[in-house]
Structure formats: C-alpha cells, structure tokens
Structure 1
C-alpha cells in the first residue's frame, strides 16, 4: 500500500483580473498549503479503478476528482493496471480549501509511482491542469504565486511558520456562481500581490498578515454575512489577520502560537461554528 497526504490550501491573496476568451478568469493568487489533510491510500488492483471514501455524502464514482485523476492517467499512458483508492476525508467538502484537488493530485503522484509510469513533474502538472485549476498547486504544496487560471505556478519564499485556524460555516457556495457574480468595477481595494511577495522574501509574518486580501469576498460575504462574523470573531480573539479562502465559505485566521490558535478555536466553538480546525503552514515541497 502507498499512502500520501493531500494537503488543504488557503489563499493569502486572490485577485481576479478579467474574464478570458476560454470562459475562465485570469487570476493572480498567493497560495499556501496547510497541514489539514486527507489521507489517500493506493493499492494495485487488476485492471479496474475502485474508489472508497470515508464520508457517505461524498460520491465514490466517476464524478469524484480522485477517480477522474486515475482514469485520466490510465488514458494518457495506456496503462492496463488498476488501483484501489481509499480516501480518508478530513478536509471539509465545498469549503474553498481545494480538498478535491488535493486528492486528485495525490492520486496522480501516487499512481505514477505505483504503476511505475515514470512521468515527469511537468507531465503530471499538465495532466493536473486538465482536472482543475487548483490541482497543479496541490502537486507542489508550499508557497506559490499562481497566475493564468491558477495553473501557472512560480515558487515563492516559504511563508513564516505559523498556526492557521480554519472555520467553515454551514453554507454552500458554488465556485462557478461566485465567479459569475464577480464585478471587477465593484472592488474598492485589490490585493497587493507584489507587496505580499516582498513580505515573504523578508520572512515577515506580520507583513504577510497585513497584506491578506481576497476580491471574491465582495461576492460571497454579502450573500453569506456569517463569513464576516467569523472573521470578526477571529480578530476579536487575537488573530493576526483573517480572510475568506478561495470562493469560500471557509475563513482562516493566522496565529503566532498554538496557544493563541486554541483560544481562537475555542471562541469559534462558543459561537457554534460547526467545523473548526487548527493547522500549521506546510512549507516543504512533498
């Protein structure tokens, strides 16, 4: 059995520049992996792809991105082998944390080894981009500048180590809907991507915290004001900064110590936020 960790991601900065001719949006993002993760276990199986998941509300068929990753790899390489894939899900679903993308990336990496395919990192990245905009980042983890539709990656200096409190309210926010509703002319303040990169170069956690920004909050928060309440709660409990991740609805808060992170998490529990996690930044490329 081959077992891999599939790390969640947060967006330290997210800017939407314009809508492209292919229907996607041109974006500029600073993405960061965190230690909250799913566990993906792979074993060889004659010919077929068998997917098992730990949650009843997650499909275990061809609609699952992990299954699609295995099927794409078989199609691309002509491999006749199969695999049993088991997903132990810890990343909440539809949360803006790239849980499905992380699973797909782990399957690509794992089956490349298990099936002895010998694909290069560049080949895997191209396949990853066919599965989704976040999948290439999830192949790499660490700290990355993502451009294009999110699949063009440039490594950045690692984010200074810190604790990250993640809180997901009980709402669903379809990513496609958020991007459809986004209006660039309604954004008052855009992320300072260059400034964020400079703060990372200087290794300043306070500087990074001061540059957090996500233009998609302009869409998601008016529709779901509980996101703003979670941000406010985190800041009141001592978070260095708080921001919605991706298109939402999960909010993350940065904490300089584990004790501070636990204080923030306890405050959120008192406010009846149903899904709360304390994680750390992941800097190592795995």
Structure 2
C-alpha cells in the first residue's frame, strides 16, 4: 500500500449517438451508443486510512454507500481481500444528475485509484468486468476516447478518436428519471435473434460513421423533450447560437453542441452565461491516449 496521497481526474462523457434498439426478453434494453470522453472532469484525491471514508465539496452528493465510489471500494475489498481502507475526497465539477456519466466515471476512477493505493495485482480487464456490477456504462471509463457501447451499454468496442475541439455542454435544472424515460420511449420487444442482428448492423455502421458534423441521434429526446421543454430549449438555443449540430447526452438533462471554430463557441458561451440557472461548459473531446495517460491506465 502506498503511503502518499495522489489525485486522479474523473472525466465526463457525452453520447454522440444513442439508439434504443428494443427491449430484451430479460427486461433490459438493447442500446447502440457512441461514448465520447470530454475534458470536463471531477477530481478524486486518495490517501491511506484504516477505514473507507469519502468526503465531497458538494453537500448534495451522498458520501455513504449510495455513492458509487464507496461501493467500488467495497467491491474491491471483497474481491481481493483488502484489509485496509482509504480516505477519499471528491471535488465535483460534473453536474449530477445530468446524463454525463459523472457517477459511473467516479466509480471507474475510484477503482483505478484503489488499485494503485492498495497495490492490487489486477488487470484493467478484471476491473472492468467487476465494474459492470456498478452500472452499465462504468466499463466505458476504463477505455476513454471514442467508443461504441452495445447491448446494455457494457460491451465496449474502441473506435478511432473523434477529433472534436469546440464543444459546449449545457445543463439546465431538470432532474430526469432514466426509468421514466425508458417507459415513455416504449421501445419494441425483441427476440434474442433480433437483438443480435441489430447489434451486428450497429457495429458495421459505427466503423464508418462521422460524428464531428453529422446529426446527433438520441432516441431519448422524443420522450424527454415533451416532458421537459427546458431541455428542448437548450438544444434549440445551441443551434441558434451557431452549433453545427447538437443533441442530448444520455437521458439528459445535459445537451451538447459542436461548433466549427473557437470564436463562434466563445460568442455562444457569452450568451449562455446570461441565461439564469443554466450551467455551461466549454470542453473538448479527450483522446484515448490522453485519457489513459491521465488515469495511469496501462
């Protein structure tokens, strides 16, 4: 176990594409989604301790077993018979909830931090397999960059990095229930063979898709926008401010816009800053190489 403290970033994600293919016989939904790591990030500090403790600068974030960081730590303690703990401090910058994967990213970064702090002899693949118990999109955060998520989202295929420099993310004040979004969407029931065929088609499409300036497809928009018109207004505002394309991330409420130059983005950020209660972030895509280097993934 290392006695020194250290800090790891915990990057947000957006969904450049999200299709809900249908509902499987087991009740889960088949997805075809393209994850993209972005530069907006939380920071997680790790120090040695006798017990597992979590603090956070945001009083609205739980610090007990309702937080995935604590659950990730206990999962590793049980799996690898770890007899000591850690003192963890989370600096929260990613809106939560917001469809940006903040909790899932925290879980993955925490597992990487605990592996380093406790000197665990486990591979990234082993961590990723364990992480799927914490949430369907947690495994993506062991890859970073641009990646295809299929099935329930936990099966990850790495894609070439989408080089997107001028992104804006806006999070309005809307607390959206993912379960409610799925219910409103009313995805069709699928047989096992239908699900497998659709995922094969999805993989082939993703190999040649261009995400920088093509339309963003997110099936959840059809369910969310009528229930939360403020989220729809964010998308129309971004397009009105010059975004080449825009779309909701995950099941919302965050919406991102892709701009073709920094100047247009700066003008948009200034205008967005005048809208009450909207949190706006100027970010960029994070390549897989940079992502892995920053998190010490090897």
TM-score between both structures, scaled by the size of structure 2: 0.88
* Structure 2: gaps spanning 5 or more residues: 189-200, 293-298
Do residues 216 (structure 1) and 226 (structure 2) align?
Answer: no
Do residues 162 (structure 1) and 145 (structure 2) align?
Answer: no
Tell me which residue corresponds to 2:57: 54
Question: What's the offset of the Cα at 1:124?
Answer: 0.5
**Would the aligned equivalents of 1:196 and 1:208 in 2 still touch at CA under 8 Å?**
no
Do residues 274 (structure 1) and 278 (structure 2) align?
Answer: yes
Tell me which residue corresponds to 1:96: 99
Q: Residues 214-268 of structure 1, C-alpha deviation per residue, up to 9 Å, x if partnerless?
A: 0010111110111121111111111111100000010000123332222222222
Q: Residues 69-125 of structure 1, C-alpha deviation per residue, up to 9 Å, x if partnerless?
A: 111110111111200111000000110000011111001011111111111111101
**Would the aligned equivalents of 1:192 and 1:211 in 2 still touch at CA under 8 Å?**
no
CA distance in 1, matches of 2:96, 2:123: 30
1:31 to 32, 35, 53: 35
Q: Tell me how many residue pairs correspond in the alignment.
A: 274
2:259 to 255, 262, 266: 255
Tell me which residue corresponds to 2:136: 133
Do residues 83 (structure 1) and 93 (structure 2) align?
Answer: no
CA distance in 1, matches of 2:130, 2:148: 19
**Would the aligned equivalents of 1:143 and 1:158 in 2 still touch at CA under 8 Å?**
yes
Question: What's the offset of the Cα at 1:195?
Answer: 4.6
Do residues 146 (structure 1) and 149 (structure 2) align?
Answer: yes
**Would the aligned equivalents of 1:30 and 1:193 in 2 still touch at CA under 8 Å?**
no
CA distance in 2, matches of 1:232, 1:192: 28
1:121 to 96, 121, 124: 124
Tell me which residue corresponds to 1:172: 175
2:8 to 4, 22, 42: 4
Tell me which residue corresponds to 1:106: 109
Counterparts of 1:199-238 in structure 2 under 5 Å?
199-200=209-210, 208-238=212-242
CA distance in 1, matches of 2:262, 2:26: 44
Question: What's the offset of the Cα at 1:173?
Answer: 0.2
CA distance in 2, matches of 1:273, 1:163: 22
**Would the aligned equivalents of 1:74 and 1:80 in 2 still touch at CA under 8 Å?**
yes
**Would the aligned equivalents of 1:3 and 1:39 in 2 still touch at CA under 8 Å?**
yes
Single out whichever of 233-242 and 18-27 deviates more from structure 2: 18-27
**Would the aligned equivalents of 2:10 and 2:44 in 1 still touch at CA under 8 Å?**
yes
Tell me which residue corresponds to 1:204: none
2:208 to 198, 201, 208: 198
Q: Residues 44-81 of structure 1, C-alpha deviation per residue, up to 9 Å, x if partnerless?
A: 112x1000011011111111011111111101111112
TM-score between both structures, scaled by the size of structure 1: 0.91
CA distance in 2, matches of 1:184, 1:63: 29
Do residues 15 (structure 1) and 19 (structure 2) align?
Answer: yes
**Would the aligned equivalents of 2:164 and 2:258 in 1 still touch at CA under 8 Å?**
no
CA distance in 2, matches of 1:221, 1:113: 42
SS in 2 for 1:281: coil
**Would the aligned equivalents of 1:65 and 1:103 in 2 still touch at CA under 8 Å?**
yes
